[in-house]
Chain A
Amino acid sequence: MGMGEEQSLVAALKCRDPAAIDALIETHGTRLLRSATLLCGNETNAQDLVQDTFVEAFRSIHRFRGQASLYTWLHSILLNLTRHYRRKNNRLVYDNELATQEPVLSEEQPNALDLESATTELTRALRQLTSPHREVLVLRFYEHMKIDEIARHLGVSKGTVKSRLHYAIHEMQKLFPKEMNLFSVGGTNEKI
């Protein structure tokens, strides 16, 4: 969505145009849902969070000043709701408990190094991180935000973001099976 289209959409939302609700959800729904799934580890909960995000966004659209993109603004609402939801809802604790269990691999894939199993391992490892570390990883490597953007998004300093990122990567290395080590891609001992 271009800047002009986004501005038109925001203007329509501020005018409470019902059609703008469809357009907002159509444009940003899937991307937000994917990010929410990574943040909370469960697609069902993620759908609830995304729905609440849109409700809250529509309710407070008059506060949107256009300093960040509409998606970034929506994502900051999602992030706040995710934190609130995590504090209030035991279901996410259940998810975390599930995440700590060993994955059940079928006999056909004892050395499953394919993309699917690596992805499964990755999401399992991601769920075991603490929320602040999972947030920076998702923002950095899924949302492709720069360090200063993450700092603004989370309301923390750049140093804190770097520190969390460093720790999160270190944890991922420990949690991720060695044969699937993310750092092994391309070989860490190669010299350039």
Chain B
Amino acid sequence: MKCERLQEILYDYLDDTISPAEKACAEEHLLGCSACRQELQREVLFAQTLSGRLGHAVDKIALDPNAQRRMVRAVQRQVGNPSERRSFSFWGRLTVPVVASGLVLVGAIWMGYRFFAGQRPISNSLAPLTTSSREVPVHDSYAVPTYTFERKGGVVIDALTDETRFIDGALLVTR
């Protein structure tokens, strides 16, 4: 085994996760290579030191009873009754798509009805129209005003006259 290979499998060697054959090769190499032995020792010491110091950094930290109770309450509050929650969660997940599909379906039916109803009234609605509508004669009159100006000497005389006109016709009245 070469030094490069040992460097590659150093962590696996330390973890003892390599095959027995490879482990034997590594140990044979370590016996004859002081540089790799030194590297191995460095890793072991580093691991021990860092582990110790990380442990020391947080070993005074502990979950106090108050925090523990708060967490228990939080779990109970947020999770609630699990069977109900699961049930609610299941139906909750179904509610939105079911309601949405229902609305789409109702909308489609309504639109279809409107479409076909919109076609039919032309023929259907005319029937009642013709039966219930009738013509009513209309006689009306209106006035057409005329405003005239006439100069007489140095005076302008204006006059408003209107002419009455008469019309006759018929209106179609429907109910």
B76 touches A18 (CB 8 A): yes
Provide the bound-state CA to CA distance between A132 and B86, in Å: 35
Contacts of B76 in A (CB 8 A): 18, 21
Interface residue? A115 (CB, 8 A): yes
B68 touches A191 (CB 8 A): no
Contact-residue bracket for chain B: 35 or more
B38 touches A191 (CB 8 A): yes
B15 touches A148 (CB 8 A): yes
With known contacts A29-B63, A148-B17, A191-B38, A183–B46 Cβ distance under 8 A:
yes
B63 touches A192 (CB 8 A): no
Kindly provide the distance from the CB of B27 to the nearest chain A CB, expressed in whole angstroms: 14
Contacts of B51 in A (CB 8 A): 141-142, 144
Kindly provide the distance from the CB of B44 to the nearest chain A CB, expressed in whole angstroms: 9
With known contacts A25-B68, A146-B15, A182–B49 Cβ distance under 8 A:
yes
Interface residue? B20 (CB, 8 A): no
Kindly provide the distance from the CB of A187 to the nearest chain B CB, expressed in whole angstroms: 9
Per the 8 Å Cβ criterion, residues 73-125 of A in contact with B are 115, 118-119, 122-123
Chain A, Cβ-Cβ closest to B15: A146
Interface residue? B74 (CB, 8 A): yes
Contacts of A45 in B (CB 8 A): none
Interface residue? B58 (CB, 8 A): yes
Chain B, Cβ-Cβ closest to A148: B17
Number of A-B contacts (CB under 8 A): 117
User: In the complex, which of the residues A43, A58, A169, A191 contacts B61, with contact meaning CB atoms closer than 8 Å?
Assistant: A43
Stretch of A2-10, A33-41, A64-72 contacting B (4+ beta carbons < 8 Å) = A33-41
Provide the bound-state CA to CA distance between A22 and B67, in Å: 12
Kindly provide the distance from the CB of B23 to the nearest chain A CB, expressed in whole angstroms: 15
A147 touches B68 (CB 8 A): no
B41 touches A25 (CB 8 A): no
A147 touches B15 (CB 8 A): yes
A115 touches B71 (CB 8 A): no
A22 touches B72 (CB 8 A): yes
Q: For B51, B71, B79, B83, which residue has the most chain A Cβ atoms within 10 angstroms?
A: B71
Chain B 40-81 interface mask (CB, 8 Å, partner A; 1/0): 011001111111011111110111000110111011101101
Interface residue? B112 (CB, 8 A): no
Contacts of B17 in A (CB 8 A): 146-148
- 9 A-B interface contacts by CB (under 8 A): A25-B68, A25-B71, A59-B79, A182-B50, A185-B45, A185-B46, A185-B49, A191-B38, A192-B38
**Chain B residues within CB distance 8 Å of chain A:** 11-12, 15, 17, 34, 37-38, 41-42, 45-51, 53-59, 61-63, 67-68, 70-72, 74-76, 78-79, 81-83
**Chain A residues within CB distance 8 Å of chain B:** 16, 18, 21-22, 25-26, 29-30, 33-35, 37-38, 43, 46-47, 50-51, 54-55, 58-59, 115, 118-119, 122-123, 126, 137-138, 140-142, 144, 146-148, 162, 165, 169, 172, 182-183, 185-186, 188-192
- 4 shortest A-B CB distances, which residue pairs? A29-B63, A34-B58, A146-B15, A16-B82
